[in-house]
Amino acid sequence: MQWNDNEKILTGLVAWIALSGCTHRNGTPMAKDGKPLNILYIMCDDHSYQTISAYDQRFIHTPNIDRIGNEGVRFTQSFVANSLSGPSRACMLTGKHSHANGFTDNTTTFDGSQQTFPKLLQQAGYETAMIGKWHLVSEPTGFDYWDILVGQGMYYNPDFICNGKKVQREGYATNITTDLALDWLDNKRNPEKPFCLLLHHKAPHRTWMPDSCDLDLFSDQEFPLPDTFWDDYENRPAAAAQEMHILQDMDLVYDLKLADPEKEIHSGYLENWGRQMYTDLLHPDQRAAWNKHYGPVIEAFKDSFLREPLDEQAEEMSAANGRMKANPKRLAQWKYNQYMRDYLRVITSIDRNVGRVLDYLEAHDLLENTLVVYTSDQGFYMGEHGWFDKRFMYEESFRTPLLMRLPGGKKGDVDQLVQNIDYAPTFLELAGVPIPEDIQGESLLPLMKSHTNRHDREVIGHWRDGLYYHFYEYPAEHAVRRHYGVRDNRYKLIHFYQDIDSWELYDLETDPQELHNIYGHPGTEEVTERMMSLLRDLEKEYDAPIKD
C-alpha cells in the first residue's frame, strides 16, 4: 500500500506523541491532557556555573541539577542583564532591561503594578506561586500564593512572609523552601489549572552557611588557587578598584566562621563595620553541630597563623583579616580553601533538594507535563581574579547557568546568546499567551524544539548576535564601578563610568580570562568600531540610557 503524505505526517505525529508523551498545539508543546505545560522555575542565589557538574567538573558532582540538562537542554551562552540579585529578578519577571523595569540596583523598590509574566499567566488561567527569596522590597503581585524570605533571608530558622503574614520557621532555609514548594504542589494549588511555581533559594549567597548534615564534607579536599588569582589588573582600573578580593576583603570571622571564644581572631566586619553574625540565630542543637565542626578548624587556623613563629614573609593584613600579620600567599590559600569548602557544602544541599523536587514531579506524573528550569540570579567568582561576589560584566559574573527540561523538547546544547530577559517571553509562549510588544527579550522555545540544531536558521529564524549589559550599583559594597557594554560571540566592549572613565575591549577567543584589555591598541580599530556600533544599535533597540 502506498501512503499519501498526510497519512505519513499523521502516523509520524502519533508516533512522536507516544514517544514524547506530550502533544503540540500550533507547534507549542502541551501536557498530556491537552492543557498548557506547567512551569517550575528553580533559581538559586549566586550559584556559579563553575560549581554545577553539567558545566564544570573540577569541583563538585551535582547529579540532580545535571539531570535537568541531561534530559533537556544546557544553554552554553547564558547571561544576565545586570549581575545583581534584585535587578536580575526584575529583568526575569518583566522580560525587560533594568532601565525599562525601573529596578536598577538593590536599593530600589520594585513597582509591582507593572506588567510581569506571572500576572499574564494568571490572567490566562495559570495558578501561580512564588516561594523563597524575593528581594524586590514591595510585596509580590501576580501570585495566587506567595511565601517569601524576608530580605536576603537567613540560612537558619529564617523569617518568611506568607501571603502578607510574618512567620519564623525552624530549620535550614534550603530544606524549608523545598518543603514549602512541595506542600504547595501537593495541598495548596488547584490541580485543575496548569501551574507556574517560582522556587527561589537563598543559598548559596554569602555567608555560605552549610546545613548541619553537610558540615564535614570536602574537609579533606585541597583546592589550588585559580590561574588568575594573583591578577595585577594591569590596564583595568575598575578591576583594580574593587573591594571583593578573597585576600583583602573576605572576613575571617564573618565570612569564614573563625569566631573563636577567646576572640583572638579579629574581624573588621564585626568590629569596624557593625555587622551582625548570621550564626546568632542558631538553636542549641544547630550551634552544637556548628561548633563541633568549626571548633577544630579555628584551632588549626590559630596553630598555623597565630601560634607559629612569624614567617619571614609576613605582612600586616587588612581589617577583614583582623590586621594580623601573615604570609599573604599562605593566608590566601587558606581562605580560598575555607570559602570553597563552605560554598560546595551549601551546593550539596541545593542539589539534594532539587532531587527531592524532581522525584516529587516524577512520582506524581508531573515531570512530562512540566517545563523545569534551573538557573541562578547571576554568576559568581570562585577565586578567579582573586575574587568572590559578582557585579562585573566579566564572564564569571555576566554568565549564569541555565538548564531547561522541556517534555518532548530537544536534548543537548543550545549555543545561541541568551539572557535572563528571555525567560518571560519563553514562559508566555509556552502558555499560549501573546507576547506583549514592550517585552525586550526573545522566547527561547524555538531553540528548544526537538528538531532544531544550532545551525537551523529556518526554524530558529534570526537570532540576536549581541547582548547589552548595564550595572548601576555604585557607590556601594564591593566598590564595583557603574558600567555598561556589549558582547557578541567573540568580543566584549565595556565602559566604566561615573567617577571613572575607562573603556575595555576583550577578544574572548584569544583571551578568555579577560586579562588583556586591548581597547585603543593598534589594529583593533575595526573591531572597536563594530562593537561601538553594536552598542549604539542595542541602546536604540532597548531605548537604553546613553552614556558617553
Cβ proximity to ligand SGN: between 88 and 502 the closer is 88
For residues 166 to 205, the per-residue mask of contacts with ligand SGN, x marking binding by CB under 6 A and - elsewhere, is ---------------------------------------x
Among 30, 41, 42, 46, indicate the residue that binds ligand SGN (CB under 6 A). Answer: 46
Q: Give the whole-angstrom CA distance, residue 129 versus residue 126.
A: 10
What residue number has its CB nearest to ligand SGN?
A: 85
- How many residues interact with ligand SGN (rule CB under 6 A)? 12
Contacted entry of ligand SGN, Ca ion, none for residue 279, CB cut-off 5 to 8 Å set by kind:
none
Site residues for Ca ion, 432-491, by CB under 5 A, read none
Work out what residue 20 binds among ligand SGN, Ca ion, none; the CB cut-off runs from 5 to 8 Å by kind: none
Q: Which amino acid is at 530?
A: R
Contact between 263 and 271 (Cβ < 8 Å): no
Contact partner at residue 477 from Ca ion, ligand SGN, none, CB < 5 to 8 Å by partner kind: ligand SGN
What backbone phi and psi angles, to 5 degrees, belong to 466? -160, 155
CA distance linking residue 103 with residue 136, whole number of Å: 8
Min. distance of Cβ 398 from Ca ion in angstroms? Answer: 13
For ligand SGN, the closer CB: 201 or 266: 201
Rg of the chain in Å (alpha carbons): 24
| Residue 187 phi, psi (nearest 5) | -120, -20
- Cα–Cα distance for residue pair 393/397, rounded to 1 Å: 6
Q: Which residue has the cell 537558619?
A: 156
Each residue 473-512 as x (binds ligand SGN by CB under 6 A) or -, in order, gives ----xx----------------------------------
Say how far apart CA 204 and CA 47 lie, in whole Å: 6
Is beta strand 78-79 parallel, antiparallel or unpaired with respect to 127-132? Answer: unpaired
- The reply on whether position 249 binds ligand SGN by CB under 6 A is no
530: how many CB neighbours lie within 10 A of its CB? 14
Q: Give the 3-state secondary structure of 221-265.
A: CCCCCCCCCCCCCCCCHHHHHCCCEHHHHCCCCCCCCCCCCCCCC
Give the strand pairing for 165-168 and 73-75. Answer: unpaired
Q: Give the residue, chosen from 50, 62, 78, 85, that forms a contact with Ca ion under the rule CB under 5 A.
A: 85
Rounded least distance, CB 110 to Ca ion, Å: 15
Q: Which of 144, 147, 377, 395 binds Ca ion (CB under 5 A)?
A: 377
**Does 129 contact ligand SGN by CB under 6 A?**
no
**Which one among 23, 45, 334, 405 touches Ca ion, defined by CB under 5 A?**
45
Binding piece for Ca ion, criterion CB under 5 A, among 82-90, 122-130, 346-354, 485-493: 82-90
Question: From CA 334, how far away is CA 20, in angstroms rounded?
Answer: 50
Q: Largest Cα–Cα distance in the chain?
A: 92
The residues of the shown chain that bind ligand SGN, judged by CB under 6 A, are 45-46, 84-85, 106, 152, 205-207, 389, 477-478
